[in-house]
A and B are shown apart, each in its own frame.
Chain A
C-alpha cells in the first residue's frame, strides 16, 4: 500500500510539473514573431520601398552602362571577365524579389482601395525595370515570374514581348494617372504628386522604348514622332524625371552612391574616366586657360584634388602614385589620351586593372553634378565625407535634354542633319543650364567665372559656354556625316553623365561614337553586347541557361556581331 501511495505521489508530482508548463506541450507555434505577416501590408509603405529601390536600381545599371561607354571608368582588361555573373545578383534580386513582387502585392491591395495613382507610379517604374533588364540581359522571366511556390523555375520570355508588355504598362499607367484616385500616395519622390508630369514621364519612356527598338520595329519612329507631336512629354527641365538623394550619412544613408563611394576619410574610392575628362576638357591641353571646345560642365562633373597630373603634360612623374606616367602608351593607344589628363584630371584608362596606389587624396572625384560632391573652383583641396554638397545629388532617369538628343537621332536617321544640329544644341544647352544651376556656387567660383569680387579672374561662365557652342558648331559643320554622328553621340553621352543606360543602348544601336578610348588591353575580346545573366538566376533556376559569352545581342540589336562592332571596340 505504501508503495502504491508513493507511486501516486510520484505521478502527481510529475503531472504537476508537466501541466504547470503546458507551454512546453504546445506544438502549434508557426507564426514568425520577427516580422509582420503579409496581411499587415500597407500600400504606401510598399510604394516607398519600391521608389527607393528603384533609385538604386537605376543608379546601378546607369553606372554599368556608363562604364561600357567610357562615361565612367571600367576595370577589366578582358570583356568576358570584366563583370562576373554575381555582380548583378543584388540588382536581379532587388528587381524581382524586391520591387516587382512588392508592386504585385501592392496592386492587389490598391485595386481593392481604388488607389489608381499608386498603381500608375508602380507601372511606370515597372516598365523601366523591365526594359532595363532586357537591355542588359536579353530574354528574362516575365509571364512565369513572381508565382512563388507555383513555379520555382520561371521560364524566360523574349525580350521583344517584355518590351511590348512594358509599353502596355505605360499606356495603362497614363490611364490610371488620369483616373481619380480614392487616395494619393503618401510620398512621391519624383514629382511630389504632380500627375501631369508623371504622364509626361510615361510618354517619354515610351519614346525611349520606341527609340530602342527602332532597328527591329518599322513603325517605331512613327510612334515616337506621334508623341513628339503631342507635346505631352518631358520637354522642359522642370519636368525632368529624376531621384533626389539626401545628405544623411547613417540610418538611413541617403547620400548619392557615387558620393559615398568617393568622399571618404581615406579619399576617393572610384576613378573617373580619362576618356570622358579628356573629351570634355577640350582639344587644348591648357583647357580653361586657353579654351578650345572646353566644356564648363567639366568643373561640375569632376572635382580635382590636385592641379597637375604627374607624368602628364610635362609634369614630373611619380612612381609611387601614378606609375603609368613613366611608361610610354601602348601602340594601340596612339591618338588617345593615356594615363591621365593634364591639369589634375587624374583618372584611369578604360580597362586598367592595376592595383590601387595611395592616391585617394590625389585622384579626381565625382563633382557636384549629379553626385552632390564638390564644385571644382580650382582650389584643389583633398575632399572627405561631408565636403561639397554632402551627397545631395540626383540620379537622372529621363531628362528633357535627353529627349532632344533622341529627337536629334531620329533626324540624323532621316538624313536631316541641320535640324538635328539645332535640336542637339537645344539639348546641350538644356544640359549645361541644368548642370551649372544645379546648386549654389562657391564665392571662389564666382570670383573666377563670375563678376563677384572684381571677377572674372579667367572669363565669364557664359563666355565659356558661348565659346564652346561656337567651337562645337564649327566642328559639326566641318565634319562628315560620320563625324556628326560622333559629335551627337559624344554630346549625348556627356549629357547622360550620371546614368549611362541609354548611352549603352545608343552605342549598341548606332555604333557611335567611333572615337572612344579603346581598352588598355590590345585583345580584350568582343565588346559586351549583353551581360552574363546574374548567378542567382542561372544557378537556381533549371529553366535558365547561362550565356556562352557576352557577345549575345539583345533582340533590338541587329547590328553586326562583336568583335568589329561597335567600331571603337
Chain B
C-alpha cells in the first residue's frame, strides 16, 4: 500500500507545472468564516487599483500593497470588509454572513448562472463535505437523505447493485421516473441495464456508479419543472446537477498547487439476518424429513415435539447421513462412498450466518488542482480507486476513475474549458433472482433463493457442495432438488465490466460586456461487457441453466449532446435589469447490444463459447434523436422582485410526423419582502425572507419504436421429423400506435425561504401540485385484440407534495467552541390516478400480471394488487373447512407502497478539532410485500415471540357455514399455508422504518502540529452507514430491512422476492492535503 501510494505521488508531482514564489514583500493572512473554517475564493482588492487576488484553498492570501492602502475583502453572501494596511505584514480576517445580501449565485438549467434569490423554484444543494469519504461508493446512495423530496432506494445491499432515485414522487407508470443527471453541464447516462428481469435475475449497476463521490465538488438538485423546463423532456423527473472537481477548475481561482489525498478502509457486513431459533430442525408437521421447511422435531429427545418420537433417529439422536441415503439417481451415494453408513448429528447449525463474510472496502483518492498566477488558466486532475467487497461471497465492485479538467481564458475574449473522464467499473456477483421461498421461480439460479430458509439441522457450510466426479451441485435433499448456495457462489455468476469515457468541451465567446455566446459538446460513451454464466450441474432454473449456460454481451451506449446558446444581461436602469438566454440543443442516444448465448456445456467449468453445444444471438438496437430550442428571459426589479419566463420546443425521432414535437412553457416569480419592507429589514427575527411561485411544464416522449408493428422471426421454433430446425414467424405482441403523442406534465409550485433569529434558523419549504396528462403507457391489451400491448396516451395523474427543510444552529460559538447544527428535511408526495381513459379502470404496470403495482382510478400510484383473503358480506375473513383462509382471486388492492412521509434528521456537532455527525431517517408507512419476511416465518426457521410451536391456531373469521371459525390448525399450517403460501395479502407488511443512516466522527489535526510537516491539513474520520434500523411493524425475528427494491430500478415498488439483504458499513478514512 505504501509503495503504491508513493508511486501515485510521484506520478502526480509530474503534473505540477510551476511553483510561484513571492519576490516582493507582501501582506498575507488567513481568511476564515465565523466557525473558523478557512475561506477559499475570497476576493481581495487594493481599493482603487486593479491589484487583486483570491484566497486559496486554506484561506490564505498574499498581496502586495503599500501602507495606507485599503484592502477590500469580499465574498458572495458575506459582509464585505475593508482593512487599512498598517505596519503589520499579516492581516487575518474573519468574515461574517450577510443575510441581507445573500447574492448567492447558483448554476441553473443549461449552465445559466443566476442569483439564488431570483429563482422562483426550489433548488437543493449538497456540498462535497457531505459526499466525501463515505463507505458507499454509489453517489445516489450517498445523497440519500440529504435533500428533501429526493427518495433513494437501493435494489439490495449487494455491492454494485442498482439504485433508484425518485424526485418528488412518481409521475408516470410506464415511462422512466428517474431524474436527469447532468455532469459538468452535459447529460450523463444513468441507465440501469439489468441483466434480465426481476424473475430471472436483474443484476446490473446503475451507471451513475461510474462517478466517484469523492471527486464531486457539489450537487444541486432541481426538483420542479419550472427549474427544469430548459432541459426539456429529460428534465421532467427533476435534474441532478453534478459539478466534479475537474469540472469546477478555475472557479475558485486557486493559485497554489494543491494535492489532496484520501484513503479509506471500511468493513461491509450483512445488516439483516433473521434471528434464527435453535429448538427445532427440518421436517414437516413435527415429523422429520429432508424438507425445505423447518417444521420437524425438536433438538431434544423428550416431549411431544422431541426427536424421540420419530423412527428416523437412532438412540443417540443421529440420522443416516443424507449423502448416504440420497437416491442413487442423484449420483450422490456413489460419489461420496465415505458417507456410506455414516451418521449425521441432529443439532442446530449456524450455516446462514457463516455463509456471509465481512467484506473490506478500500478507497483511495488523489486530487490535484492548480491555476496560473492570474487565475486565467487552471486545471484539475483526479484519480480514484474503489475496491468494494460484498458481504456475499463472490460479490465485488472495483472501480477506477480518472478525471482531467482545464479552463483557459484567452486574450481574444474566448474562454475554453474541457473535462475528460475515464472510468472502469467491474461488478461481479453471484446470480440474484426472485424466489418464493422455495427454489427460484425463473430460469436462473439465485444465491439467496435457497439460503435464508435453510433448515437449522442442515449443515450448510459443512456438507460438501460439489460432486467430485461430475462437478454438479449436491445437497441434503434426497432427490437433490435444491441447489447448494455454495455451489451457486462457485459455479454461477454475473459480471458487468464497464469502460466509460465522458466529458465536455465548452467554448464561450464574450461578444461584449452584455452578451456571451456559448457552444458546448457533451460526449458520454460506455461499453458494458456483461457475462451471465452457470456451469452444468445446477439444480434450479431452466433446463438450459442446468445444462450449463454462458452468455456474453456488450452494451455500447453513446450519447452525443450539442448545445449552443446566447446569453445576455442588461441593466435598463437602477431598478430594472433584464437577462435572457436563447439556445438550441440536440441529443442523440444510441444503444447497441450484441452478444451470444451458449447452452449445453461440454467440459465442466470451461467458460468459453467453443465449449458449448448451441449458440444463439443476443442483439438489440435502439436510437433516438431529440432536438430542442429554448429561451428564457428574466426581469428583476430592485433586487427584490424577479419574473422569469421560459419555454422549450422539442422534436423527437420515434413518433409520427404530426405528433413529433411539443412546446412547453414555464414562468416563475420571486419576491424578497425583506428587501423592501423596512420592518422586516430591521427585524432581528427575520433576516431574510423570500416568497416564490413557479409554473412549469415538461413533456415526456416514448422510448423504443412505439409506432411500428413488428413481425417476430424465430429460426429455432421446433424441429421437423428429421431433426431439422423449423423457421417460423409470428405477429409481434406490440400494436404500433401511429397516433401516439408526447405526454405533457404541468406543475404549480409555491415556496418560502427564510433566515430567522440572526440567521440561526433557516427554512425552505415548497408545496407543489403536478399533473401528467395524456400519459404514455404500455397498455396491456386483451390478446383477443390480436396484440398484448400498445403504447398509448390515456388518463391523468395528479401528484401533490410538500417539502420542508428546516435548519437550526442549536449551539453556535466561535471557531473552537461547541457548535451544533440540526437540520430536518421532511417530504411527502402522493400521486393519485385521476383518470385512466374511457375504457379501462385498472392497469397493472409492474410485477406479475396478477401480483404487482397497478394504476387504479382514485388510488395512489404505487397501489399493490394481488390475491386477498376472501371476505363475506360483513367483511369477515372467510376460512375454509380445513381452517385456512379462502383466497379471493383477481386484482384486489393489498397495499400501497407509497410512504406517508419521509423525514431526515441531519446533525453536526463540532468542538475544537472534533466533529460528529449523524443522519437519521424516518420513513413512515408504505407497504411491502415480502418473501424475505414471510419465508423464515413460513419455513419455521424463526419463532415469533410468544409463540409455542406445539399449540394450535384458530384463524379469526367465518367458516363455510357462515359461523365463527373454530377449526384448529397447527403451527406449520398457519405459517406455511397461510403466512407464506396463503393469499398474497398475508405477505404485505408495513415498511415503516427508523434508520441511523450515517454516523461520522472526525478529527482535524491542529495547524500547529502540521506546521513542520508538508501537510496543509489532515483529517481522520470514522464513519458508518446503516448501523442500526428498526422496523416496528415487521416481525422482529425476521430482522428484515425494508430498504430493498425487489423489482429492480423501475416503476415497481413494494415487492421483494428474496432479492438480497441490506448491508451495514463502517470504517476509517484519512484525508490529507499538501
Contact = CB atoms under 8 A, between A and B. Distances in A.
A539 interface: yes
Contact of A6 (B310, B481, B509, B544): B509
Contacts of B412: 2, 6
B289 A357 contact: yes
Contacts of B656: 30
Contact of A32 (B312, B509, B704, B718): B704
A342 to B, nearest CB: 21
A385 B543 contact: yes
Contacts of A320: 287-290, 312, 478
A267 interface: yes
A196 interface: no
A225 interface: no
A98 B735 CA distance: 13
B288 A85 contact: no
B478 to A, nearest CB: 4
B705 A252 contact: no
B543 A147 contact: no
Given A77-B880, A539-B849, A36 B712 contact: yes
A78 B982 CA distance: 13
B1007 interface: no
A29 B729 contact: no
A522 B707 CA distance: 55
A371 to B, nearest CB: 16
A522 B655 CA distance: 59
A70 B433 CA distance: 35
B716 A252 contact: yes
Given A10-B519, A14-B519, A267-B479, A29 B720 contact: no
B708 A32 contact: yes
Interface string A242-271: 001010111111100000100011110000
Contact of A45 (B330, B723, B729, B788): B729
A18 B543 CA distance: 51
A303 to B, nearest CB: 13
Most chain-B Cβ atoms within 10 A of its Cβ — which of A97, A151, A189, A252? Answer: A97
A59 interface: no
Interface string B780-801: 1111111110100000000000
Contacts of B622: 34
A546 B890 contact: yes
Contact of B312 (A89, A145, A319): A319
Most chain-B Cβ atoms within 10 A of its Cβ — which of A33, A101, A146, A357? Answer: A357
Contacts of B606: none
Most chain-A Cβ atoms within 10 A of its Cβ — which of B312, B481, B653? Answer: B481
Interface string B690-726: 0000000000000011011111111011111101011
Contacts of A218: none
Nearest to A14: B519
B291 A355 contact: yes
Contact of A31 (B310, B705, B786): B705
A536 B783 contact: yes
Given A266-B539, A358-B478, A360-B327, A148 B711 contact: no
Contacts of B625: 23-27, 29
B887 interface: yes
Contacts of B729: 36, 41-42, 45-46, 49, 102
B651 interface: yes
A565 interface: no
Most chain-B Cβ atoms within 10 A of its Cβ — which of A81, A105, A252, A320? Answer: A320
A37 B734 CA distance: 12
A320 B729 CA distance: 49
A148 B786 contact: yes
Interface in A1-38: 2-3, 6-7, 10, 13-14, 17-18, 21, 23-38
A34 B840 contact: no
Interface in B548-576: 560, 562, 564
A251 to B, nearest CB: 4
Interface string B266-291: 00000000000000000011011111
A248 B881 contact: no
A321 interface: yes
B327 A267 contact: yes
B783 A97 contact: yes
B329 A383 contact: yes
Given A24-B562, A323-B285, A536-B783, A30 B719 contact: no
B547 A250 contact: yes
A149 B624 CA distance: 25
B730 interface: yes
B517 interface: yes
B710 A252 contact: no
A153 interface: yes
A160 interface: no
Contact of A38 (B481, B711, B841): B711
B953 interface: no
A329 interface: no
Contacts of A21: 560, 562, 588
B310 A540 contact: no
A154 B782 contact: yes
Contact of B544 (A92, A152, A246, A250): A250
Contact of B289 (A2, A41, A358): A358
Contacts of B146: none
Contacts of A65: none
Interface in B444-487: 472, 477-481
A361 interface: yes
Nearest to A523: B881
Contact of B780 (A23, A37, A84, A539): A539
B287 A319 contact: yes
Contacts of A536: 780, 782-783, 788, 849
B784 A146 contact: yes
Given A48-B726, A52-B728, A360-B481, A532 B889 contact: yes
B723 A248 contact: yes
A141 interface: yes
A319 B289 contact: yes
Nearest to B720: A187
A141 B783 CA distance: 10
Contacts of B603: none
Given A17-B562, A249-B543, A153 B713 contact: no
B614 A251 contact: yes
Nearest to B851: A86
A384 interface: yes
B849 A30 contact: no
Contacts of A46: 728-730
Given A360-B479, A536-B783, A78 B886 contact: yes
B619 A31 contact: no
Most chain-A Cβ atoms within 10 A of its Cβ — which of B723, B784, B842? Answer: B784
B293 interface: yes
B166 to A, nearest CB: 26
Given A6-B412, A49-B728, A252-B717, A101 B562 contact: no
Contacts of B730: 46, 49, 53, 98, 102
18 contacts: A6-B414, A18-B562, A21-B560, A24-B588, A30-B705, A35-B732, A36-B711, A48-B718, A48-B728, A85-B889, A102-B729, A149-B790, A260-B543, A267-B329, A357-B284, A522-B881, A523-B881, A538-B890
When A and B form their complex, which 6 residue pairs have the shortest distance between CB atoms, in order from nearest? A360-B479, A382-B329, A49-B728, A361-B327, A266-B481, A35-B710
Interface of B: 284-285, 287-293, 310-312, 327-330, 412-414, 472, 477-481, 507, 509, 511-512, 517, 519, 521, 539, 543-544, 546-547, 560, 562, 564, 586, 588, 599-600, 613-614, 616, 619-625, 627, 651-657, 660, 704-705, 707-714, 716-721, 723, 725-733, 735, 737, 779-788, 790, 839-842, 844, 848-850, 867, 880-882, 886-887, 889-891, 960, 976
Given A7-B511, A151-B785, A540-B779, 6 more contacts: A48-B728, A101-B731, A246-B719, A266-B539, A359-B479, A523-B880
